[in-house]
Chains A and B, each alone.
Chain A
Amino acid sequence: MLIDVNAWVGHWPFKRLHGNTCEGLLARMKEYGTDVSVVTNLHGIFYKNTQSANEELYEEVHSKRAYKDRFIPFAVINPIYGGWRDDFEVSVKKLGMKGIRVFPNYHDYTITEPALLELVKMARDHNLPVALTMRMVDERQRSWMDLATEWAIKDYLPLLQAVPDAKYMLLNLSTGVGLSAEEEALLKGTDVLFDTSGRHIGHLAKFAKRFGEQRFAFGTHFPVLDYYTGLLRIDSLREEEGDKEQYRYRNAQRFLGL
């Protein structure tokens, strides 16, 4: 059994992506034996009205039986754009979205923005996870039109502090992971799931020991990153370094309530 908690479809405006359709993602899933994938529409990062991206994803996922069976759609919500409360309600109740992704840096609001806190509380009340993406693309070779700064993991912590009883996914750990003792305690006291796609996971067993084995799950960040690296971190663990099945699917299954 294998669950990918961090996949995308759609275009990145500054670089051609490959395998970036539902069909392309499904082909990789079949190749590697992935049963289901959490999937989000990249366009939600760039559309001002993110709900259009959620509708696109819904239409695409529901265009084919195999997509419906194997994709778990997440909505992108921008809490400073008009009608976002309706977007959340429609995404959850009509479009069947099983979680939300927010992009404070791309959508130009702060991590303590009151509307964001309200949105996260709404997600919490619906028992839906809130996915925070540490990095979309490697900032060293980004487009001149892309963001000039990235947020480290600690930059997201004020949100966890403000709504500590929500469920969070911290994805693509590729920016700073340095934390004070207090910050690390906050993280460990919150219901957090990390994925295995990020560059800072130089040795999964050591990282899992630091934060807790139950907090890690297979993630690809595909098609931005290659499909296999996040899985290789798990596959190449030695028997004594941990239970691979928890990383392959059990932790994700529990966290997502599947």
Chain B
Amino acid sequence: MRNTINRRNFMRNVAASASGMLLGNSLLAAAAEPAPAVAEKAPADRMKQVLRYRKLDAHVHLGLSKDGPEVNVDFMERLGMQRMFISKPVTKPVATPDDFRAANNVILEGMRRYPGQLTGMLTLNPMYPKESLEEIKRCTGEGMVGVKVYYQVKISDPLFYPIVEKLIDLKMIMLMHAETTLGIAGYRMKYDRRIKPNASVPEDFVSIAARYPEAMFQFAHIGGGPDWEYACKVLKHSPNVFIDTSGSNNENNMVEFAVQQVGVDRVLFGSDNMYYQSVGKVIDARLTEAEKRKIFFDNYNNILKKGGYHVD
């Protein structure tokens, strides 16, 4: 249908409608003057800007909802992502070897369906060290890159030491679910958020990162519910901890604050399947084009490059 609305008339009418009741004829007369010029960004230009940035999704899942991998790929194409690093952590307190092998098999199937678009990150449970190390061998042999772990064991627990040492050898990153919510991480317990006691908090990342300075750790989803100001401040002096910006919370200034605290080279784009918020908050961030390129693509690719797993 043809758009018959004239932009200048529309704005003039809005001004009259919004203020005319109070201000009478003088404002109505003034409002008839041309509206001030604006540096308008047309819709097509906005999407061009979104698609112009290459993107590696450093935190995204498959198999945690009823959506199949085609949904991941649909959003990749819609929002201009080159590759997703998908995982399926076992999201219950007990994770047996059968559980994490089955989860990894879901990821392998997704990789087979969309080679070149979906790369897997394997999951494991360090309470089963032998089986976990075997799973690293099996899954990296199938093309997975990196490990994604959940709240069964804290990241700073000695059970993780052999896993971290293996990943140092492989030059792969470990992405750990993280929490920084009222009731944990130094706050007084006031609200029961039902956070599991072994969930990793920023201080746990600081501890393991100091023990293994040559390892690479990824603090999950500052948009996933944590108090992101608290988390970024605690992680400021841990140069081998990277922060991903994924999650449903797209509060204004989140990405800028992370960059200010830990430096732009340690901030990674991720969605945690919250695609609009995760792209939107980086696009809107008050950062330079070069900084956004680093967050969307270069920083994670540089991590992959250490082991030769990078994307061209």
Contacts and interface: CB of A to CB of B under 8 A. Distances in A.
Interface of A: 1, 15-19, 29-33, 35-36, 62, 65-66, 68-73, 92-96, 98, 137-138, 140-142, 144, 148, 174, 199, 201-202, 222-233, 235-236, 238, 244-245, 248, 253, 257-258
A36 B21 contact: no
Given A232-B280, A238-B78, A248-B43, 11 more contacts: A17-B252, A32-B41, A33-B42, A141-B180, A142-B182, A144-B190, A148-B191, A202-B274, A228-B46, A236-B276, A244-B43
A225 B252 contact: yes
16 contacts: A1-B10, A15-B229, A35-B11, A71-B18, A96-B19, A140-B181, A140-B226, A141-B249, A199-B250, A224-B251, A226-B252, A226-B254, A226-B281, A229-B279, A236-B47, A236-B78
A226 B249 contact: no
B17 to A, nearest CB: 6
Contact of A231 (B3, B46, B229, B253): B46
A94 to B, nearest CB: 6
A16 B187 CA distance: 20
A216 B40 CA distance: 23
B280 A65 contact: no
Given A140-B225, A141-B180, A224-B252, A229 B14 contact: no
Chain B, interface size: which category? 35 or more
Interface in B200-257: 225-229, 248-254, 256
A94 B15 CA distance: 15
B47 A228 contact: no
A98 B18 contact: yes
B302 interface: no
A227 B284 contact: yes
B50 interface: yes
B13 interface: yes
B277 interface: yes
A256 to B, nearest CB: 8
B64 interface: no
Contacts, number: 163
A232 B284 CA distance: 10
A258 B253 contact: no
B94 interface: no
Contact of A68 (B13, B19, B43, B78): B19
Contacts of B176: none
Contact of B277 (A70, A229, A231, A253): A229
A69 B35 contact: yes
Contacts of B7: 1, 35
Contacts of B15: 68-70
B1 to A, nearest CB: 8
Given A141-B181, A228-B284, A232-B276, A30 B38 contact: yes
Interface string B128-153: 00000000000000000000000000
